[in-house]
């Protein structure tokens, strides 16, 4: 019982340190990046990709938790995480993070050095550019965090094709354009938390008018990216069709929340944004 309890507790801590749902979502984007190009699938190479991305993303997230432990302690939705709650010592989280990261890097080399490069870039943008340099200083922080989030899908592409081609770049844009939308809506839902922690997010600095304009153009760019994927034959025209419908619904909800006093729509908007990305990625599986 004691061993089982320790194992269960360890797994819970790992799930929290790695932000398991977020990590699995990013690993899923790597899978999408791998299966989107036409041609024969290599199950062994796909397995190497998924394992290496899971380890590296989990490790990077744990390192991120180490750097953010002080501001996590100030936010209601994050103060119960293992580091701010004192369940895990900071050095343990940092050591685990680097063990996982370097394990993922070592395994990724079996699929080629381009995949390893994307993992290194993801780590560098997430930890050093986003978390250390910009998160507490610039309201544009999440743009660079979005670059980190786009690396797994690009990693999937290069693991399959061995090159950085137009298709891989456009796939990366889907994630890069979605992440600010997701994060900025979360910021509005948890506005008091972000204000208390002193994190300079665009929704807290720009006002809802400018924010809506930013989101409008980001979603428009997302739609044109899906259109381009259909043009170059990586997906069917169902993808831009579905994306267009969901973008229109999302913008309508955000407009009502921002300008018509219907703030209760912010949480449903956040959920719709998540569904929107998942539907868009799943539509890439259709030929």
**Helix 2-17 with 43-67: angle, nearest 10 deg:** 90
Q: Give the pLDDT of residue 9.
A: 73
Residue-range definition of the domain harbouring residue 254? 165-287
Q: Give the pLDDT of residue 167.
A: 95
Q: Are residues 99 and 210 in the same domain?
A: no
Count of domains observed in the chain: 2
> Do residues 207 and 195 make contact, with C-beta atoms less than 8 angstroms apart?
no
If you ran DSSP here, which 8-state letter would residue 127 be given?
I
Q: Are residues 90 and 196 in the same domain?
A: no
Q: Are residues 251 and 272 in the same domain?
A: yes
Q: Are residues 29 and 135 in the same domain?
A: yes
Q: Are residues 135 and 259 in the same domain?
A: no
pTM of the model: 0.94
Q: Give the pLDDT of residue 266.
A: 94
Burial state string for 148-176 with b = 16 or more CB within 10 A and e = fewer than 16: bbbbbbbbbbbbbbeeeeebbebbbbbbb
Q: Give the pLDDT of residue 1.
A: 40
End-of-domain residue from the set 104, 133, 163: 163
How far CA 98 is from CA of 55, 56, 57, 127, in Å, comes to 10, 9, 11, 12
Cα angle vertex 190, ends 28, 215, to 5°?
65
Q: Are residues 159 and 169 in the same domain?
A: no
Q: Are residues 141 and 176 in the same domain?
A: no
Residues of the chain with pLDDT under 70: 1-7
Q: Are residues 22 and 156 in the same domain?
A: yes
Q: Are residues 186 and 152 in the same domain?
A: no
Q: Are residues 41 and 153 in the same domain?
A: yes
Burial state string for 106-137 with b = 16 or more CB within 10 A and e = fewer than 16: ebbebbbebbbbbbbbbbebbbebbbeebbee
From the list 15, 122, 132, 14, the residue with the least C-alpha distance to 60 is 122
pLDDT one-digit tens code per residue, 38-86: 888 999 999 999 999 999 999 999 999 999 999 999 999 899 999 999 9
Q: Are residues 158 and 134 in the same domain?
A: yes
Cα angle vertex 16, ends 11, 18, to 5°?
95
Q: Are residues 208 and 66 in the same domain?
A: no
CATH code (residue 136): 1.10.357.140
From the list 149, 162, 144, the residue with the least C-alpha distance to 53 is 149
End-of-domain residue from the set 134, 163, 192: 163
End-of-domain residue from the set 141, 163, 185: 163
């Amino acid at each position: 019982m004691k061993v089982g309890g320790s194992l269960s507790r360890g797994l819970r801590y790992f799930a929290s340190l790695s932000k398991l749902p977020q990590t699995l979502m990013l690993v899923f984007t790597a899978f999408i990046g791998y299966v989107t190009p036409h041609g024969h699938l290599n199950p062994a190479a796909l397995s190497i990709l998924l394992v290496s991305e899971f380890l590296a993303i989990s490790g990077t997230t744990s390192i991120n938790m180490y750097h953010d432990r002080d501001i996590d302690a100030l936010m209601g939705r994050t103060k119960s995480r293992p580091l701010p709650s004192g369940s895990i010592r900071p050095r343990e989280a940092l050591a685990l993070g680097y063990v996982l990261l370097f394990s993922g890097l070592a395994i990724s080399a079996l699929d080629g050095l381009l995949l390893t490069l994307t993992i290194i870039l993801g780590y560098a943008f997430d930890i050093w550019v986003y978390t250390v340099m910009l998160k507490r200083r610039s309201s544009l922080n999440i743009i660079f965090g979005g670059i980190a989030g786009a690396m797994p899908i690009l990693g999937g592409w290069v693991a399959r094709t061995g090159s950085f081609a137009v298709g891989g770049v456009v796939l990366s844009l889907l994630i890069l354009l979605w992440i600010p939308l997701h994060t900025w809506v979360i910021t509005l839902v948890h506005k008091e938390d972000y204000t208390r922690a002193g994190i300079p997010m665009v929704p807290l600095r720009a006002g809802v008018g400018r924010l809506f304009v930013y989101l409008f153009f980001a979603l428009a760019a997302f739609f044109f990216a899906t259109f381009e994927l259909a043009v170059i034959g990586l997906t069917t025209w169902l993808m831009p069709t579905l994306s267009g419908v969901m973008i229109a619904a999302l913008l309508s909800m955000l407009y009502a929340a921002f300008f018509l006093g219907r703030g209760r729509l912010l949480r449903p908007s956040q959920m719709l944004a998540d569904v929107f990305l998942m539907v868009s990625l799943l539509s890439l599986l259709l030929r």
